[in-house]
Amino acid sequence: MSKAIGYRDGLGNEADLTTPTSTQVYPLGYRTTIYDSATKMEKEFIYVKSHAGLTQYQPYVLNWTGTAGSEVKTAAPATTAAPGQMVCVPQVAFTSGYYGFVQIKGDCTCLLANETKAVGDYLQVLNTGTTLVVDGTSSSTVLLGNSCAVSKSATTDGTSGVAIILIGKWAVTAAS
């Protein structure tokens, strides 16, 4: 595969992962993977334009558009059938219309619903959801079409952010 002149194979600076900007720095849809030595996992990020102000750790979905300068944007979760939507989680807050990286795979922090969660519970996002919820019932360890993440903590709280593992696959967004 040939590459265009000036194409980047890596990040210009690791700080780019946590510094949204008002001007586009990378191609929209650009994916980068880093290895986290603390968790021994890969984390995958995608470069997007924010559809609105993004809350740190709140789950959103990706939306591909034909609009120049906005080809890959975030969006609020909306009910979808298979194949679903790709869930993403910003690890920092974004100003509306800013460009930056959101996480789509690997160990990360995310807002979870105030409900019982066990380690290993699969998680999903619901229509207009601002947190992830248990996909089914707690202690259910069956990967479903709605599942987008796995809980790393046994907790009933999650409003300040909890450690999860984003699966990095398209997931169906249920109505409720």
Question: Domain boundaries in the chain?
Answer: 19-171
For the chain, the average pLDDT equals 89
Query: Does the pLDDT of residue 111 top 70, yes or no?
Result: yes
Query: Does the pLDDT of residue 3 top 50, yes or no?
Result: no
Query: Does the pLDDT of residue 2 top 50, yes or no?
Result: no
Instruction: Please give the pLDDT value at position 12.
Output: 76
Instruction: Please give the pLDDT value at position 152.
Output: 92
Sole residue written with tokens 């980047």: 8
Instruction: Please give the pLDDT value at position 9.
Output: 58
- Mean pLDDT to the nearest integer, 47-53: 97
- Please count the other Cβ atoms lying within 10 Å of the Cβ belonging to residue 169: 15
Q: Is 138 within 8 Å of 117 (Cβ atoms)?
A: yes
Q: How far apart are CA 41 and CA 171, in angstroms?
A: 21
- Mean pLDDT to the nearest integer, 129-141: 82
Instruction: Please give the pLDDT value at position 140.
Output: 67
Query: Does the pLDDT of residue 8 top 60, yes or no?
Result: no
Strand intervals (E) in the chain: 31-36, 41-49, 60-64, 72-75, 80-88, 99-110, 122-125, 132-134, 149-151, 162-166, 170-173
Query: Does the pLDDT of residue 108 top 60, yes or no?
Result: yes
Nearest to 145 by CA among 118, 170, 117, 113: 170
Instruction: Please give the pLDDT value at position 151.
Output: 93
